[in-house]
Amino acid sequence: MANEANNFQELISHCKEYGYIFQSSEIYDGLSAVYDYGQLGAQLKKNLRDEWWKSMTQMHENIVGIDAAIFMHPTVWKASGHVDNFSDPMIDNKDSNKRYRVDHLIEGHAEELGQDGKKEEEYALLKSMDELLAKDDFAGLKTLIETNNIKCSVSKTCNWTDVRQFNLMFKTEFGAVASDNPEDNIVYLRPETAQGIFVNFLNVQKTGRMKIPFGIAQTGKAFRNEIVARQFIFRMREFEQMEMQFFVRPGTQMEWYQYWQNARIAWHQSIGIPAEKLRFHDHVKLAHYADAALDIEFEFPFGWKELEGIHSRTDFDLTQHAKFSKKKIQYFDNDLNEEGKPYGNYTPYVVETSVGLDRLFLTVISLAYAEEKWNKEDGTEDSRVVLRIPAKIAPTKLAILPLLKKDGLPEIARQLMNDCKGSFMCFYEEKDAIGKRYRRMDAIGTPFCVTIDHQTKEDNTVTIRYRDDMRQERIALSEVKNLVLSKL
Ligand code: GAP
C-alpha cells in the first residue's frame, strides 16, 4: 500500500509535469479540491466524454442528449429534497477545530485496524457504522467514535462535538435586485446534473416525440461543498458528471436497473478498464429518492471506491416537481396492456446512471501510469515512464518526427501532418534526439510515433514506433494514416 501511495504521488506530479492537471489558481497557492485540466488533460477528458455521449445517444435510438443550465430555479432544490436532505453527518474536533465527515473518520480508523492485522475489528467497526448511518443515529455515531478512541489527526485528541448535518450545496446571489428578504435572490450551484433532465422531461418527450422507455443524457459541471476533499481529483468541489435518466413504465424498473448495471460495466470494459478492477457494491443506506441503488467501484491506488452510481429513483423526482410546480408531469402510454386497453396516464419511473468524468479520468490515468526498467543488450539499465492510455481515448494519437531539421525531411513530415490532422490528433516535433522525443511521447501517452529519415526520400517508407512494446517497423508513408485509423 505504501508503495502504491508513493506511486500515486508520482502520478500526481506526472500529471502536472506533462500538462494533464494543474491545481486551480496555482500562482495563488491553489484552491482546495479544485483543479484545472491542461492541454492534454482537457483533450483526454473530452475523448472520455465523447465516448460516453456516443455510447448513450448515438448507440441508443431511444436516448437523446440535452445541455441544461447550471443555474436553476431555487424551488427545484426544495422539490428534489436537496435543501433538506443533501447533507453529510460531520463532527468537529474541539481542540484543532478540524471538521471531519463522520464516515470518513471511522473508515480511516477501520483501515488502520486492517493494516495492523485486526481484520475482525475492522469489519465489526464498519458494520456498526453502516447500521448507525442507516438509522441516522448521530448520538450512536459519536459514541462509536469515542468508544473506539478515534482521534483527530491534528490535535491527536478525542475531544469531539456532537455529530451534525452539513448541507453540501453552494449558494450564490442571483441578479442585482434588492429585496427585503435576502433569501429571495439565492440560487444554488447544481449539486447534480440530473434535475436539469427532470425539469425538461415534458419538453423533450413532447418535442422529440419520445416513447417510453426512453432516456435523456447530459454531461456538465456539478458543485458540492465537500468537507473532506481529498485524493486529488477523486473528491472535488467542482466536478463534471455524465448522467442519464431512463424513463420506464412503473413496475418495470427492476428489469431496467439490471439492464443498466450490465450495460455500464460493459462500457467501462470497452474503454480498457479490466473486469477484475471493477465490482458492484449495493448501497446499505438508500438515498431518499431510491428503491434500489448500487455503485460500480474501481480499485483506485488508494483502494476500492465509487466510480459510478446506478439508482432506481422511482417516480420521486417527477412527482415532486409536479407537486411544487403545480404542473401535470405525466406520460400517456398508448401501448395496450394484457386486457387490450392503453396503459393511459402515469408518472414514469426512472433508472439513473451517473458517472463522474473526473473519477473516470483518474481511473484511466492511474491504470495507464507505469514506471518501467529493463536491461539493454549491452547490460546497462534503461527506464521510462509511460502512460498506456488506450489508443482510442489517448489525447494525441500520432507523433510525427523528422529525424533532422534539414534535407527536406520537415517538408515530408509537414505533408503527413496535413494529411492526418483532419482525422485524428497529431503532434509535430523536430527538436532533440529521436530517443528523447520517443521518451517524451511515452510520458504523455502517444500510442504511435512516425520518424521520417533519409530513407524516406529514397523509398517513401517511414519508421513507425509502438508505445506499448517499443517495437519499430518500416511501413509505407502512404499507409500511416490508415494504420493509425485502424487502431482507433
Ligand atoms: N444524480 C445522482 C448523483 O449525483 P452521486 O452518487 O452523488 O449521484 C454520481 O454522484 C457520481 O458523481 C459519483 O459516482 C462520482 O463519480 C461523481 N462524484 C460525486 N461527487 C463527486 C466529487 N465531489 N468529486 C468528483 N466526483 C464526484
pLDDT of residue 1: 41
> Cα of 357 to ligand 1 centre, how many Å?
9
- Name which of 475, 471, 396, 459 is nearest 429 in CA terms: 396
Ligand 1, atom 12, lies closest to the CA of 356
β-partners of residue 239 are 222
DSSP labels for 163-222? Answer: -EEEE--EEEE-SS---SSGGGGEEEE-S-SHHHHHTTHHHHHHHTT--SSEEEEEEEEE
Q: Give the closest residue (by CA) to ligand 1 atom 16.
A: 356
Q: What share of the chain is helix, strand, coil (3-state, %, to 5)?
A: 40, 30, 35
Asked whether the predicted pLDDT for residue 5 surpasses 60, the reply is: no
Stretch 109-134: mean pLDDT: 90
Hey, which of 82, 239, 284 would you mutate to test ligand 1's pocket, going by the most ligand atoms within 8 Å of its Cβ? 239
Is the CB–ligand 1 distance for residue 195 below 6 Å? no
CB 283 within 8 A of CB 295: yes
Cβ 235 under 6 angstroms from ligand 1: yes
Q: Would you state the pLDDT for residue 171? A: 93
Q: Rounded CA gap, 348 and 366, in Å? A: 39
**What is the reported pLDDT for 177?**
62
State the CATH class of domain 396-487: alpha beta
Q: Locate the ligand 1 atom nearest the alpha carbon of residue 295 and give its number.
A: 14
Domain boundaries 2-72+189-365, corresponding CATH code: 3.30.930.10
- Is the minimum distance from the CB of 354 to ligand 1 under 6 angstroms? yes
Ligand 1 atom 20, closest CA: 235
Average pLDDT over residues 78-86: 92
Residues 6+ apart with CB under 8 A from 65: 53, 56, 57, 216, 217, 218, 219
Ligand 1 center to 227 CA (angstroms): 14
445 lines ligand 1 (CB under 6 A): no
397 lines ligand 1 (CB under 6 A): no
pLDDT at 230: 72
Give the model confidence (pLDDT) of 175-199 as tens digits.
766 666 767 788 999 999 999 999 9
Instruction: Measure the N-to-C terminal CA separation of the chain; round to a whole number of Å.
Output: 34
Q: Are 303 and 369 in contact (CB under 8 A)?
A: no
Average of per-residue pLDDT across 137-144: 94
Of 141, 111, 107, 101, give the one whose Cα is nearest residue 228: 101
Q: How confident is the model at residue 70 (pLDDT cuts 50, 70, 90)?
A: very high
Average pLDDT over residues 122-144: 91
104 burial class (0-12, 13-18, 19+ CB within 10 angstroms)?
middle
Question: Does residue 42 surpass a pLDDT of 60?
Answer: yes
Element (H, E) at 346: strand 342-346
d(CA 56, CA 65): 8
What number is the average pLDDT over the span 161-174? Answer: 92
Cα separation, 353 vs 200, whole angstroms = 17
Q: Residue of the nearest CA to atom 26 in ligand 1?
A: 356
Pick the residue whose CA is nearest to atom 25 on ligand 1.
Answer: 235
**C-alpha cell read off for 308:** 459510478
Query: Does an H or E element contain 53, and which?
Result: helix 39-53
Q: Which three cell numbers mark 169?
A: 450545496
Helix (H, G, I), strand (E, B) or coil at 382: strand
- Ligand 1, atom 15: closest residue by C-alpha: 356
**356 CA from centroid of ligand 1 (Å):** 5
State pLDDT tens for residues 346-375: 999 999 999 999 999 999 999 999 999 999
Average pLDDT score over residue span 118-139: 90
Looking at residues 93-109, what average pLDDT do you find?
Answer: 91
Residues whose CB falls within 8 Å of the CB of residue 200, separated by 6 or more in sequence, listed in order: 66, 68, 216
Percent of the chain with pLDDT over 90: 84
- 3-class SS at 9? helix
Residue 85 has pLDDT above 80, yes or no: yes
Atom of ligand 1 minimally distant from the CA of 236: 24
Q: Is the CB of 308 under 6 A from ligand 1?
A: yes
The answer to whether 371 and 402 have CB atoms below 8 angstroms apart is no
| Ligand 1 centroid – CA 223 distance (Å) | 10
Give the confidence band of 4 by pLDDT, cuts at 50, 70, 90.
low
Angle between helix 138-147 and 102-115 (nearest 10): 30
Q: How far is the CA of 308 from the centre of ligand 1 (A)?
A: 7
Q: In what order do the strands lie in the sheet with 398-402?
A: 426-428, 398-402, 448-452, 461-466, 472-476
Task: Indicate the pLDDT class of residue 412, thresholds 50, 70 and 90.
Answer: very high
Q: Which of 306, 313, 316, 353 to mutate to test the pocket of ligand 1 (most atoms within 8 A of CB)?
A: 306
Please, how many CA atoms are within 13 Å of residue 440, restricted to the half-sphere of its CB?
18
Q: What is the DSSP string of 66-111?
A: ----SB--HHHHHHTTHHHH-EEEEEEBTTT--EEEHHHHHHHHHH
Average of per-residue pLDDT across 260-276:
97
Domain boundary assignment for the chain: 2-72+189-365, 396-487
For the chain, give the number of residues: 488
CB neighbour list of residue 380: distance below 8 Å, 6 or more residues apart: none
Amino acid type, 24: S
